Structure 1
Amino acid sequence: MASLLDLTKERDAHIDQRLHNDEVIWLNSVRPDGRPHAVVVWFLWDGESVLIFSKPTNQKVRNIERNENVLLALDDTKGGSDPITIEGTATLLAPGTIDATSSSYLAKYREGIKGIGSTPEKMAAEYSQAIRITPSKVT
């Protein structure tokens, strides 16, 4: 799928830059009873989709199993002057498809993983459920 962003446009290029460089994003999903569920997660943007790793038993995984519709939100934490929201469809990837030891994920989070006293191998074992989010709307 081609990216929804036109990098020749200033705003889209800015969104792409934020998606590549911001450390965390809010993942919003819907619980089975219809209530919203929001969590801050590490993520990787490849220009077309967002990749997130989760513990397989976490609430977000259970939510996505029932309802693939999600909302991602970036906030600059400077008074909300640069919010970015992404509506999309989440797919739970099969085990072994990709894990937290991938070179692109480690390029972004190696220091963060070390900072929480873990290793890439431990992270990959604990956060073994990969979630790919394909955007349908970016604002």
Structure 2
Amino acid sequence: MKITEPPRTPGQRKQELLDRLERELDVWVATADREGLPCLVALWFVWDGEHLWLSTRLTNPTGRNLREGGRARLALGDTRDVVLVDGEVETYTREEVPEAAARAFLEKTGWDPGRDSASYAYFRVRPVAVQTWREVHELHRRHLMRDGVWVV
């Protein structure tokens, strides 16, 4: 495949990222346990303008890793339109989750994890680093956020 489009500006990439966070439903979630055993799974997510909200069981590897490790890497897109988000994770039981977050999750996905099973929890991911790129010509300006601050 040849690169035929000029690189997007960082501002264009940030706006496209924000649009995708509102529009897309699934995100790849990468975590690791205490021994470093990786786990990768796709989950539904909701973007509230500052955080990504996920939900899964506390009893599965992803839920345990999110709760115990407090970090995750999230990925959107394919190899020609990549978004990587490194984030810090906070865990909320179905009783603790803010009502607005639970309502937004239900509105976007049609699923209420809190009603599904007591083993489901919500996980709020605060982005600390965000990278986006299409093809090699955007790699040198791929960082949109560093240390939790937008650089664009």
CA distance in 1, matches of 2:60, 2:24: 23
Matched AA of 1:136? V
Q: Show the counterpart of 1:35.
A: 37
Q: Show the counterpart of 2:26.
A: 24
CA distance in 1, matches of 2:93, 2:114: 14
Q: Quick check: 1:101–1:124 contact (8 Å CA) kept in 2?
A: no
Gaps of 5+ in 1: 1-7, 114-119
CA distance in 1, matches of 2:29, 2:83: 12
Secondary structure of the residue aligned to 2:84 is strand
> TM-score scaled to structure 1, two decimals?
0.75
Equivalenced residues, count? 119
Deviations 1:35-84 (A, max 9, x none): 211110000001100101111211112112331121000014xxx21110
Q: Show the counterpart of 2:83.
A: 84
Deviation of 1:33 after TM superposition, in Å, equals 1.4
Deviation of 1:94 after TM superposition, in Å, equals 4.1
Q: Quick check: 2:74–2:85 contact (8 Å CA) kept in 1?
A: yes
Q: Quick check: 1:53–1:100 contact (8 Å CA) kept in 2?
A: no
Identity within the alignment, %: 24
Larger radius of gyration, structure 1 or 2?
A: 2
Q: Show the counterpart of 1:68.
A: 70
The answer to whether 1:52 aligns with 2:54 is yes
CA distance in 1, matches of 2:109, 2:37: 31
* Higher strand proportion (structure 1 or 2): 2
Aligned Cα root-mean-square deviation (Å): 2.2
Deviation of 1:95 after TM superposition, in Å, equals 3.9
Q: Quick check: 2:93–2:120 contact (8 Å CA) kept in 1?
A: no
Runs of 4+ more than 6 Å apart: none
> TM-score scaled to structure 2, two decimals?
0.69
The answer to whether 1:124 aligns with 2:114 is yes
CA distance in 2, matches of 1:66, 1:103: 26
